[in-house]
Amino acid sequence: MILGGTSKSNKSWCLLEMAMCVASGANWWGRRCAMMPVVYINFELPRWAVGQRLGALWTARPELVEGLDRLHMWNLRGQNADLTLLRPK
């Protein structure tokens, strides 16, 4: 899936909510998601900023907390992360 948009058009917020919905099996934009583990790879935001966004989304949608153990965050901002290194992990 590719999500495109202009700068500051809430793409990261959208993808974080989608990751949380898949991890918890909740609806995302009116579509039911299959519950499964999710790896969200963050190359953009500082770790604290992602944490703030996750907290805001869980406050707005408390039912998504159910998937917390299936949502895995990899904060790789500022690091070289070649796909050949990420895939095995």
Give the mean model confidence (pLDDT) for residues 5-16: 92
Q: Higher pLDDT residue, 70 or 87?
A: 70
pLDDT in tens, 68-81: 999 999 988 877 77
Closest by CA position to 33, among listed 46, 45, 19, 43: 19
**Band of pLDDT at residue 31, cut at 50, 70 and 90:** very high
Q: What pLDDT does 28 receive?
A: 96
Q: What pLDDT does 80 receive?
A: 74
Q: Do 48 and 4 touch, CB atoms closer than 8 A?
A: no
Coil, helix or strand at residue 75? strand
Question: Burial of 64 by CB count in 10 Å (0-12 exposed, 13-18 middle, 19+ buried)?
Answer: buried
d(CA 69, CA 43): 21
Question: Burial of 14 by CB count in 10 Å (0-12 exposed, 13-18 middle, 19+ buried)?
Answer: middle
pLDDT in tens, 36-68: 999 998 988 999 999 999 999 999 999 999 889
What is residue 63's DSSP assignment? G
d(CA 26, CA 42): 22
